[in-house]
Amino acid sequence: MATVLYLSYDGVSDPLGQSQVLPYLRELSRLGYRIHLVSFEKPRRFRPRQAELRASVERDGIDWHPLRYTKHPLVFSTVWDVLRLQWFAARLHRTYRFDLVHCRSYVTALAGLRKRSYVTALAGLRLKRAAGVRFIFDMRGFWPDEKVEGGTWNLGIPIFRWVYRYFKKKESQFVAEADAIVSLTNAGRRVIETWASYGTRRPPIAVIPCAAEFDVFTVGSREARTRARAELGIAPDEFVVAYLGSLGTWYLLGEMLDWFSVVRDRRERCRLLLVTPDSPAPLFAEAAKRGIKHADLSIVSATRERVPFYLSATDVGLFFIRPTPSKQASSPTKLGEYLAMGIPVVTNAGVGDVDDVVSALGAGIVIPSFSEAAYVKSIEQLEAITALDPQMLRSRAREVLDLSAGVEAYAGLYRALLA
Q: What is the pTM of this model?
A: 0.89
Do both 374 and 411 map to the same domain? no
pLDDT score of 129? 60
Residue 215 falls inside a structural domain = no
Do both 191 and 230 map to the same domain? no
pLDDT score of 376? 95
Residue 214 falls inside a structural domain = no
pLDDT tens digits, 2-31: 999 999 988 988 888 888 899 999 999 999
On the question of pLDDT at 123 being above 80, the answer is: no
Do both 253 and 170 map to the same domain? no
pLDDT score of 112? 46
Residue 216 falls inside a structural domain = no
Mean pLDDT of 63-67: 94
Residue 217 falls inside a structural domain = no
pLDDT score of 117? 30
Do both 392 and 407 map to the same domain? no
Q: Which domain holds residue 138?
A: 3-209+403-418
| Residue among 302, 293, 285 at smallest CA distance from 231 | 302
Q: What is the mean pLDDT of the chain?
A: 89
Do both 316 and 194 map to the same domain? no
**CA torsion angle for 303, 41, 138, 351 (degrees, to 10)?**
50
Residue 82, H or E segment = helix 76-96
Residue 11 falls inside a structural domain = yes
Do both 394 and 408 map to the same domain? no
Mean pLDDT of 41-64: 91
On the question of pLDDT at 226 being above 90, the answer is: yes
pLDDT score of 76? 73
Count of domains for the chain: 2
On the question of pLDDT at 269 being above 70, the answer is: yes
pLDDT score of 111? 57
pLDDT score of 397? 96
pLDDT score of 114? 41
pLDDT tens digits, 277-327: 999 999 999 999 999 999 999 999 998 889 999 999 999 999 999 999 999
Q: What is the DSSP string of 29-57?
A: HHTT-EEEEEEEE-HHHHHHHHHHHHHHH
pLDDT band at 261 (very low <50, low <70, confident <90, very high): very high
pLDDT score of 86? 79
**Cα–Cα distance for residue pair 18/15, rounded to 1 Å:** 5
* Backbone region of residue 386 per phi and psi (left: phi > 0; alpha: psi in -120 to 50; beta: other values): alpha
Do both 387 and 291 map to the same domain? yes
Return the DSSP state at 213.
-
Do both 30 and 102 map to the same domain? yes
On the question of pLDDT at 122 being above 70, the answer is: no
Do both 301 and 410 map to the same domain? no
* Backbone region of residue 258 per phi and psi (left: phi > 0; alpha: psi in -120 to 50; beta: other values): alpha
CATH number of the domain where residue 179 is located = 3.40.50.2000
Mean pLDDT of 378-406: 94
Query: Which residues lie below 8 Å from residue 191, measured CB to CB, with a gap of 6+?
Result: 142, 328, 329
Check: CB of residue 276 under 8 Å from CB of residue 247: yes
Mean pLDDT of 66-75: 83
Query: For residue 119, what are the CA distances in angstroms to 40, 87, 320?
Result: 19, 5, 43
pLDDT score of 200? 82
Query: Which residues lie below 8 Å from residue 19, measured CB to CB, with a gap of 6+?
Result: 210, 212, 213, 304, 333
On the question of pLDDT at 399 being above 60, the answer is: yes
End-to-end CA distance of the chain: 12
Do both 111 and 246 map to the same domain? no
On the question of pLDDT at 347 being above 50, the answer is: yes
On the question of pLDDT at 352 being above 90, the answer is: yes
Percent above pLDDT 70 for the chain:
94
Percent above pLDDT 90 for the chain:
69
pLDDT score of 70? 83
pLDDT score of 124? 59
pLDDT tens digits, 98-120: 999 999 888 777 654 443 332 22
pLDDT score of 107? 76
Mean pLDDT of 43-68: 91
Cβ of 393: how many Cβ atoms within 10 Å?
24
Residue 259 falls inside a structural domain = yes
Mean pLDDT of 189-205: 93
Residue 51 falls inside a structural domain = yes
Q: What is the DSSP string of 90-157?
A: HHHHHHH--SEEEEESHHHHHTT---S-TTGGGSHHHHHHHH--EEEEE--S-HHHHHHHTTSS-TTS
On the question of pLDDT at 225 being above 70, the answer is: yes
Do both 108 and 240 map to the same domain? no
Mean pLDDT of 147-169: 90
pLDDT band at 84 (very low <50, low <70, confident <90, very high): confident
pLDDT score of 78? 76
pLDDT band at 1 (very low <50, low <70, confident <90, very high): confident
